[in-house]
Amino acid sequence: MTDSTASLPAHLPDGIDPEGLRVVPLHVLVGEDSFLEGVEMSDEDLALRLRAGARVTTSQPSPAAFAAAYAAAARAGAGSVVSVHLSGALSGTVHAAALAASRAPVPVRVLDSRTVGMGLGFAALAAARAAQDGAPLEEVARRAIAVADSSRAVFMVESLDHLRRGGRLSATAAAIGTALGVRPLLSVRDGSIVVVQKVRTRVAAVDRMIDVAVEAAGRRRSPVLAVHHLGDPGLAEDVAWRLRSRVDVPTLTSPVSAVVGAHVGEGVLAVIVADDDAGR
């Protein structure tokens, strides 16, 4: 089990049984209205609302939502659950899951991936494969954490204001990132979002992201890559093509989840690299 910020592609990779991988949605809040992301609010819906100037916030699932998900898994025949979620430094989702796990009808191992997007998604996919292969609870959990730990995320945004307002980036880091007209590249480090490099133009930022991803892929035994976007699928496909031309490994493309999009804004572009063989 994972949460919707994993930003999984619409079609799961071959070999993954959708029945063995469940996704608990977070909430997108627009004014007084609350929407379940991926169920009642898509990334396209969010992009339209952001363009219209709507103020969008987010909310984690309640412990009751996780309790219902764990109970449903048990009724479907699960003997145990590995529940892996986005970084606890970015959201209280993993803590809500832990509260529900203590009262679940089957053993539940809750894991903080210390990442987000397909850094989390690749971990969930690896855990799902291990579970399908009959691995015990602790082995499935170990695989999830190993793949999450192996991940490297680098991304750029049109503005740091969304991250600053949502408390996901400090005001000091945001000020440094926007100084002198530079375009900052960001990463998830130790579970938090940090500015890691500054370049002058969007074109240079894309080139640098691709270089970083290629270098990171070369340091992993079985690299897998993903490209995320919000509102620019053409750019994401172009970046994926450029990556495939330099690193002959699987490269997924998918929009960021609506909750992630609410915190980074339209125009985000991210590249995620992980080691699919980590923990084996």
pLDDT tens digits, 8-31:
998 888 778 888 899 999 999 998
d(CA 221, CA 11): 25
Ordered domains of the chain (ranges, CATH) = 2-149 (3.40.50.10170), 152-275 (3.30.1180.10)
> How high does pLDDT run on average in the chain?
89
Give me the pLDDT at residue 113, please.
97
d(CA 265, CA 163): 8
User: Mean pLDDT across the stretch 201-222?
Assistant: 93
Residue 172: pLDDT band with limits 50, 70, 90: very low
Backbone angles phi, psi at 104, to 5 degrees: -70, 150
**What are the DSSP calls for 131-153, one per residue?**
HHTT--HHHHHHHHHHHHHH-EE
Residues 6+ apart with CB under 8 A from 73: 1, 22, 81, 106
Q: Is the pLDDT of residue 178 over 70?
A: no
What is the pTM (predicted TM-score) of this model? 0.91
List pLDDT tens digits, range 30-71: 988 999 998 998 888 888 888 888 888 899 999 999 999 999
